[in-house]
Amino acid sequence: MADRVGLTWHPQLAAAILAARERIDIVEVIPEGTFLESRKSQRALRTLARAMPVSIHGVSLGLASTTPVEQWRLDQFARLVDSVQPASWSEHLAFVRAGGVELGHLAAPPRTASTIDATAANLERAARTVGTYPMVENVATIIDPPGCRIDEQTWICELLSTSRADLLLDLHNLYANARNFGFDAAEVLKRIPSERIKSIHLAGGAPVHTPAGERWLDDHLHDVPDPVYRLLELVGQLVPHALDVVLERDGAFPPFTQILMQLDRARAALTKGRARQRLAS
């Protein structure tokens, strides 16, 4: 079993990533803003994908919406995936626009049967156009999405049973939502079908204080908190196959050695979980 551990590609980190290639098994690239639009950038990404495994991680499709995803957006992804031939591609379980309003980021959908069906339909469209299903990522939310009839774990499990798309499980998003809305992240993790978890995200965040209390913001600007490593250990114990684990860091970059130490810590947590899995079997 060969788990791969890596991080998100950023222009500021490019030189350091290439210099530390022996310690980075995979890089994840957000294509919006550069790689989707520019052929020159696509050629550069293709070159990178020949040198090391690359995963493409979209943020703009808005698959978890009752509105069908626009075909031209899927066509863009199809061209990119065809050109780069990445190890995998993924998107978020979020809506990002509605009624002509662009949110500029990921909003958790109301968790209902109708949003499960609509998301599954969008995933079918995506798979038909791109040629493969994207992995779908659970999102962090700082607002309890209005109109929910079911909890997050049920919504995700129902979606996985309706669609053939597998799960990119973001452990920090799970941790943030558990903190914000008072559930046990480890218990939720145990309920998700482990054979459908194909990839993992790690990240950091910070508390946001309000007169009504505190919420945890998934900002990708801080180091991975300890409880998230413990969740990764549990993932290593539960998931029977090899995983890709990606550390997301979008700014406030620490010295690169500190980022590499977090990758090492992720490897160690996975190894510990894998050891427990072997003992149990």
Partner 1 sequence: MSPAFESFLARLYVDSDERRRFLAAPGRVAAAAGLTGEEIAAAVAIDRVGLELAAASFERKRHHRRRFRFGRWRTWISSFVPWITRLAGSGVLEPPTRRQP
Interface region with partner 1, contact rule CB under 8 A, candidates 81-89, 123-131, 139-147, 266-274: 139-147
Cα separation, 58 vs 32, in Å, equals 7
Confirm or reject binding of residue 51 to partner 1 (CB under 8 A): no
Interface region with partner 1, contact rule CB under 8 A, candidates 94-102, 128-136, 220-228, 264-272: 94-102
Residue from the set 33, 131, 240, 254 that interacts with partner 1 by CB under 8 A: 33
Token readout for 163 is 């669609």
Residue from the set 14, 208, 242, 252 that interacts with partner 1 by CB under 8 A: 208
Residue from the set 67, 71, 161, 258 that interacts with partner 1 by CB under 8 A: 67
- Cβ contacts of 83 within 8 Å, gap of 6 or more: 42, 45, 46
How far does the chain reach from its first CA to its final CA, in angstroms?
15
Distance of CA 174 to the CA centre of its chain: 11
User: Of 172 and 265, which has the nearer Cβ to partner 1?
Assistant: 172
- Say if CB 189 and CB 152 are below 8 A apart: no
Confirm or reject binding of residue 212 to partner 1 (CB under 8 A): yes
Pairing of strands 167-170, 54-57: unpaired
- In whole angstroms, the minimum distance from the beta carbon of 214 to partner 1 comes to 10
- Say if CB 47 and CB 76 are below 8 A apart: no
- Cβ contacts of 162 within 8 Å, gap of 6 or more: 116, 117, 120
- Say if CB 271 and CB 259 are below 8 A apart: no
User: Of 103 and 275, which has the nearer Cβ to partner 1?
Assistant: 103
Confirm or reject binding of residue 255 to partner 1 (CB under 8 A): no
- In whole angstroms, the minimum distance from the beta carbon of 265 to partner 1 comes to 27
Say what angle helices 71-84 and 39-51 make with each other, to 10 degrees.
40
With 0-12 / 13-18 / 19 or more C-beta atoms within 10 angstroms meaning exposed / middle / buried, residue 252 is: exposed
How many residues form the binding site for partner 1 (CB under 8 A)? 33
- In whole angstroms, the minimum distance from the beta carbon of 172 to partner 1 comes to 15
Cα separation, 263 vs 26, in Å, equals 11
Local structure of residue 91 (DSSP, 8 states): E
Confirm or reject binding of residue 107 to partner 1 (CB under 8 A): yes
Task: Report the site for partner 1 in 111-130 (rule: CB under 8 A).
Answer: 112, 114-115
User: Of 176 and 266, which has the nearer Cβ to partner 1?
Assistant: 176
Cα dist from 174 to 74, 88, 182, 219, whole Å: 27, 22, 11, 14
- In whole angstroms, the minimum distance from the beta carbon of 217 to partner 1 comes to 7
Interface region with partner 1, contact rule CB under 8 A, candidates 16-24, 65-73, 84-92, 225-233: 65-73
- In whole angstroms, the minimum distance from the beta carbon of 10 to partner 1 comes to 12
Task: Report the site for partner 1 in 140-199 (rule: CB under 8 A).
Answer: 141-144, 146-147, 180
- Say if CB 98 and CB 65 are below 8 A apart: yes
Rg from Cα positions in the chain: 18
- In whole angstroms, the minimum distance from the beta carbon of 221 to partner 1 comes to 11
Task: Report the site for partner 1 in 214-243 (rule: CB under 8 A).
Answer: 215, 217
Summarize as ranges the residues that interact with partner 1 (CB under 8 A): 33, 65-67, 95, 97-105, 107, 109-110, 112, 114-115, 141-144, 146-147, 180, 208, 210, 212-213, 215, 217
